[in-house]
């Protein structure tokens, strides 16, 4: 493939295809992922290529999907589950947090759980209730789970393969609003390990950090700020649990200011954890309080109000202005 311009959905598709071709123990399961190719067509063509025994259409039962995946992992397989929409993950919550996350610890490390759970998440698609949520903090809080979210097609292609190759359970949150956005994908070089954060734009005045769909918003805000003479450094979190803090801390020690942005509500969130850790470890470098821009602490609203609920470049820039005012 070398370097191509691909949508996130296609990049994920090719990453899944490559993982399945490389290891016959990799199989996929989920609702409508077979002939339909999934609601977002991420699994399109995979059942035709690998057969019904490796790409399984399941009943509408998320608890059953995850429970079956746990059993398959115990028998040496590497199952990849698709949760059709973010809000549908909660029927499988008990299996994920009570069983999948704890199984390796329960067996004192002798039993690995190489299960990947793909979750299309977030807003910006004008969907109905239960189809636009950001539940990543629930799983980041659960010991035993790894939680990641790619923001670009290139990362989607490589991160899904790395998640499948690992021996720990991974919640793989895919920003659904980015499925149709193209970007360059290099199939020869990944550029970053699965659990590393990355500086994607250099700056000197303020550090801004986000993950998933928020990266595009942060880059837009940085472009606008540059026209006004403010230099913003943008960091793509990539991994939500564990968090790679060193690039964040190094940036904050340079800029003295940090703004965190996320689609999820701000209370007891990923942003809250990063704010606390940076304050602990880089307190004497901060010239302003760490500020958070987040979804509001309410259920996700009807589609016509999502533009009010979701952080945009204006809200990010307002926080940047407040940080610079100190």
Residue with tokens 């990063």: 274
User: Distance between CA 216 and CA 223 in Å, rounded?
Assistant: 11
DSSP 88-144: GSGGGHHIIIIIITTHHHHTTTSS----EEEEEE-SSS---TTSS---HHHHHTSTT
Please give the backbone phi and psi of residue 245, each rounded to the nearest 5 degrees, phi first: -85, -25
Please work out, in degrees rounded to the nearest 5, the angle formed at the alpha carbon of residue 236 by the alpha carbons of 234 and 242. Answer: 135
Q: For residue 38, with 0-12 CB atoms within 10 Å meaning exposed, 13-18 middle and 19 or more buried, which class applies?
A: buried
- The count of other CB atoms within 10 Å of the CB of residue 304 is 8
48 contacts 55 by C-beta, under 8 angstroms: no
Residues of the chain with pLDDT under 50: none
DSSP 310: S
Fold classification of 3-186 is Rossmann fold (3.40.50)
Which candidate, 250, 261, 316, 320, places its Cα nearest to that of 285?
250
The pLDDT tens digits of the residues spanning 9-40 come to 999 999 999 999 999 999 999 999 999 999 99
User: Distance between CA 16 and CA 261 in Å, rounded?
Assistant: 29
Q: Of residues 107, 130, 131, 195, which has the active-site annotation?
A: 131
Q: Which regions of the chain carry the CATH code 3.40.50.970? A: 3-186
pTM for the predicted model, two decimal places: 0.96
Known catalytic residue at 131: yes
Does residue 74 sit in helix, strand or coil? helix
Torsion sign, CA atoms 304, 308, 310, 312: positive
Q: How far is CA 254 from CA 56, 203, 284, in A?
A: 50, 9, 12
β-bridge pairing 3-7 and 170-175: unpaired
Cis peptide before 242 (omega within 30 of 0): yes
User: Distance between CA 224 and CA 208 in Å, rounded?
Assistant: 14
Which candidate, 233, 219, 215, 93, places its Cα nearest to that of 156?
215
Please give the backbone phi and psi of residue 318, each rounded to the nearest 5 degrees, phi first: -65, -40
Q: Which regions of the chain carry the CATH code 3.40.50.920? A: 198-325
> Which stretch of DSSP H or E encloses residue 11?
helix 8-22
DSSP 99: I
The pLDDT tens digits of the residues spanning 268-286 come to 999 999 999 999 999 999 9
Fold classification of 198-325 is Rossmann fold (3.40.50)
Does residue 80 sit in helix, strand or coil? strand
224 contacts 198 by C-beta, under 8 angstroms: no
- The count of other CB atoms within 10 Å of the CB of residue 76 is 9
Quote the pLDDT of residue 1: 60
Quote the pLDDT of residue 125: 86
User: Distance between CA 70 and CA 161 in Å, rounded?
Assistant: 19
């Amino acid at each position: 493939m070398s370097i191509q311009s691909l949508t996130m959905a296609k990049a994920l598709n090719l990453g899944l295809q490559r993982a399945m071709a490389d290891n016959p123990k990799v199989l996929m399961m989920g609702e409508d992922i077979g002939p339909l190719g999934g609601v977002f067509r991420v699994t399109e063509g995979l059942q035709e290529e690998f057969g019904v025994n490796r790409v399984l259409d399941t009943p509408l039962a998320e608890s059953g999907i995850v429970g079956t995946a746990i059993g398959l992992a115990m028998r040496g397989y590497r199952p990849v589950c698709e949760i059709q929409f973010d809000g549908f993950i909660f029927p499988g919550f008990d299996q994920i947090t009570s069983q999948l996350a704890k199984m390796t610890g329960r067996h004192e490390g002798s039993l690995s759980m190489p299960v990947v759970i793909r979750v299309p998440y977030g807003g910006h698609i004008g969907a109905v209730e239960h189809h636009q949520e950001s539940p990543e903090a629930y799983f980041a809080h659960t010991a035993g789970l790894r939680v990641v979210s790619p923001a670009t097609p290139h990362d989607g292609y490589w991160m899904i393969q790395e998640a499948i190759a690992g021996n720990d359970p991974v919640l793989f949150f895919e920003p659904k609003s980015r499925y149709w956005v193209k970007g360059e994908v290099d199939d020869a070089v990944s550029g970053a390990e699965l659990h590393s954060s990355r500086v994607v734009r250099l700056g000197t005045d303020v550090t801004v950090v986000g993950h998933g769909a928020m990266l595009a918003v942060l880059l837009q805000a940085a472009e606008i700020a540059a026209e006004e003479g403010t230099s913003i450094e943008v960091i793509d979190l990539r991994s939500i649990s564990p968090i790679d803090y060193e690039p964040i801390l190094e940036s904050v020690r340079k800029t003295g200011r940090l703004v965190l942005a996320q689609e999820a509500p701000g209370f007891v969130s990923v942003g809250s954890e990063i704010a606390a850790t940076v304050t602990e470890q880089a307190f004497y470098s901060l010239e302003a309080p760490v500020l958070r821009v987040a979804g509001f602490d309410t259920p996700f609203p009807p589609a016509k109000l999502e533009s009010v609920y979701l952080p945009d470049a204006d809200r990010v820039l307002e926080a940047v202005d407040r940080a610079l005012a100190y």
